[in-house]
Amino acid sequence: MSEKVIGRFAPSPTGRMHAGNIYAALVAWLIAKSQGGEIVLRIEDLDRERSKPEFIDAVQRDFEMLGLTWDHGPFFQHDRDEAYAAAFNSLVERGLVYPCYCTRADLHAASAPHRGEKLVYLGTCRSLSVDERAAREASGRKPAMRLIVPDEIISFRDTIQGEYSQNLEFDCGDFLIRRSDQAFAYQLAVVVDDAAQGVNCVVRGVDLLCSTPQQIYLQDLLGLPRPTYGHIPLLVAERDRRLSKRDHDASLDALLARFGSPEAIIGHIAGVVGLAPTTEPATPEQLLSCFSLKNLHGRIQIAWT
């Protein structure tokens, strides 16, 4: 028998959900439920400053209202430091990690822009001498920690975007696994959590496609299983403006005011992205009958308004 599909909702509680977050959760839910699978809810509150308790409650109420149910959790990243530390320490013990003292300004000055937004770290702090390192320590600057990446191509088949590959050294560079404020970095936390929570089917926005090779590399180093990945197109507003939690026009409250009901929001999103033949109101449950992965195409963005 094949393995049960375990998908996930992984919201960051830094604002109310917007249409793009709902779209990602809807596809994750449909993929899992259409195969008799289950959903994990994980609240990604790694960023303690930006995560707010009111959004933690709101995001759960929003999923419930939309009919996007979950079977396990909520799990919280703020409870998981021990697990992240164990993974981090195992990488340190293998000599794969080094301290990086670069400031944001240094990073911009010494990084090669690549693949749109991503900056490639050129390894400035990888080869610091003992004296150089001591001088930086003495200045009181707290280092972040980077993982050394090899000159190696990581390839995978995305269930929505198709083949994707990246040479970690040239397309990404040594990447952060712990920030200078001691918080573990997203890439490390997400990989440790997906494995611990049994997630074997990841669905998220295409803006995270370029992070996936880093996560696969970490899974390989840590001996963790590799989930399947599907990256959905971004929903964009007028003039290709990206939706963000700051854009009130796309927040759930604004969507409710515009569409009138949760079913109307779900139906509209489903129709616009091609998950349903019309934009008529629908629940996620009702969309199951016409859901097929084949209808999801690998466009990079879809106009929302």
Residue of 5, 6, 7, 11 interacting with ligand GLU (CB under 6 A): 11
Which residue lies nearer to ligand GLU by CB, 190 or 273? 190
Rounded to a whole number of angstroms, the minimum distance from the CB of residue 193 to ligand GLU is 9
Binding flag, residue 204, ligand GLU (CB under 6 A):
yes
Q: How far is CA 141 from CA 6, 9, 135, 180, in A?
A: 42, 36, 10, 9
Binding flag, residue 80, ligand GLU (CB under 6 A):
no
Please give the helix or strand (H or E) that residue 157 lies within, else none.
strand 153-158
Q: Is the peptide bond before 74 cis (omega within 30 degrees of 0)?
A: yes
Residue range at the interface with ligand GLU (CB under 6 A); choices 7-15, 88-96, 124-132, 253-261: 7-15
Rounded to a whole number of angstroms, the minimum distance from the CB of residue 10 to ligand GLU is 4
Classified as helix, coil or strand, 287 is: helix
Rounded to a whole number of angstroms, the minimum distance from the CB of residue 22 to ligand GLU is 12
- From the CB of residue 117, how many other CB atoms can be counted at a distance below 10 Å? 8
Closest CA to 12 of 24, 30, 29: 24
Token pair recorded at residue 240: 């290709």
Binding flag, residue 146, ligand GLU (CB under 6 A):
no
**Alpha-carbon span 152 to 172, nearest angstrom:** 11
Binding flag, residue 10, ligand GLU (CB under 6 A):
yes
Residue 2 burial (C-beta neighbours within 10 Å; 0-12, 13-18, 19+): exposed
Rounded to a whole number of angstroms, the minimum distance from the CB of residue 46 to ligand GLU is 8
Signed CA dihedral, 218, 219, 224, 229: sign only: positive
Binding flag, residue 12, ligand GLU (CB under 6 A):
yes
Which residue lies nearer to ligand GLU by CB, 120 or 209? 209
Rounded to a whole number of angstroms, the minimum distance from the CB of residue 108 to ligand GLU is 23
Residue of 19, 190, 201, 255 interacting with ligand GLU (CB under 6 A): 190
Residue range at the interface with ligand GLU (CB under 6 A); choices 9-17, 100-108, 217-225, 257-265: 9-17
Binding flag, residue 7, ligand GLU (CB under 6 A):
no
Please give the helix or strand (H or E) that residue 235 lies within, else none.
strand 234-236
User: Under the rule (CB under 6 A), what is the footprint of ligand GLU?
Assistant: 10-12, 44, 190, 204, 208
